[in-house]
């Protein structure tokens, strides 16, 4: 990507789960990684781990639902590194009250602000730099729920993830002429900390059969390392033992 050989990746939600795994996989491939998220201590732990393994990383504390802070974070990365070659939008949440019977507008607003608006804010923040480079890749982490509607994830989460899928494809339609490309990465169940917010938390045995964060980290690195003339528009990925197929959820 970068003619100098330096490749800079910005990973939101980089303090845990898929974002953390993606940051580690990218750093192992030689990327300079900037991780952002709301918990500074978690980000610092990821940076320490990456550096201990010979990688290059730094942290920016950030709530992606704050558009002005997102813009400042992107500007900070460009000031420090001169470029942004990759954005991984991995920041996302769900809430315990997620059915039509108990959902609250507060929960809906929070999910839309982080899972959808936050994705858009970050995409817009990197756009000027990527357009100027005539090169750049964005990976938006959506969900199986962005393709398949089921009861368990709830209406707010399902709706935001469907919207992220549409947002990704619309980006490619407009920005392919500028050498930019985006991938919507839609995993089914992944054994990450977000599972603790479910009304019924899956057992350890069930989680062991799910996708693991490292599986998604490797997938993110695969997309990121494709040559600039390749756009991986969408990846739908699930564990072989898919509970939505076998009646578990």
Alpha-carbon gap, residue 137 to 126, rounded angstroms: 10
For residue 157, indicate whether it is catalytic.
Answer: yes
Residue that has been written with the tokens 């730099």 in this structure: 129
Alpha-carbon gap, residue 217 to 43, rounded angstroms: 16
Q: Which residues pair with 187 in a beta bridge?
A: 237
SS3 248: coil
* Residues ≥6 apart with Cβ < 8 Å to 105: none
Identify whether the C-beta of residue 126 lies closer than 8 Å to the C-beta of residue 83: no
First to last CA, the chain: 41
* Residues ≥6 apart with Cβ < 8 Å to 7: 1, 30, 31, 32, 85, 86
Residue that has been written with the tokens 């393994």 in this structure: 53
Alpha-carbon gap, residue 210 to 190, rounded angstroms: 5
Q: Which of 108, 121, 144, 157 is catalytic?
A: 157
> Looking at the annotation, which residues are catalytic?
157
């Amino acid at each position: 990507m970068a003619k100098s050989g330096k490749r800079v990746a910005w990973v939101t939600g980089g303090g845990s789960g898929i974002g953390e795994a993606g940051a580690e996989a990218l750093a192992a491939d030689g990327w300079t990684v900037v991780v952002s998220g709301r918990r500074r201590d978690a980000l610092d732990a990821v940076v320490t781990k990456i550096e201990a393994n010979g990688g290059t990383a730094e942290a920016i504390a950030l709530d992606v639902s704050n558009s002005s802070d997102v813009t400042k974070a992107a500007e900070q990365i460009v000031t420090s590194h001169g470029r942004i070659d990759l954005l991984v939008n991995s920041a996302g949440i769900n809430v315990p009250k997620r059915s039509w019977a108990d959902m609250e507008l507060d929960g809906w607003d929070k999910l839309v602000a982080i899972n959808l608006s936050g994705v858009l804010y970050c995409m817009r923040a990197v756009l000027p730099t990527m357009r100027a480079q005539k090169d750049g890749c964005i990976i938006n982490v959506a969900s199986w729920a962005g393709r398949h509607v089921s009861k368990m994830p709830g209406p707010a989460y399902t709706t935001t993830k469907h919207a992220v899928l549409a947002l990704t494809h619309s980006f490619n339609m407009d920005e392919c002429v500028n050498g930019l490309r985006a991938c919507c990465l839609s995993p089914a169940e992944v054994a990450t900390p977000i599972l603790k917010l479910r009304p019924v938390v899956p057992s350890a045995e069930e989680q062991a059969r799910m996708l693991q964060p490292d599986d998604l980290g490797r997938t993110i690195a695969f997309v990121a390392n494709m040559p600039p003339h390749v756009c991986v528009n969408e990846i739908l990925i699930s564990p072989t033992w898919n509970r939505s197929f076998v009646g578990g959820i």
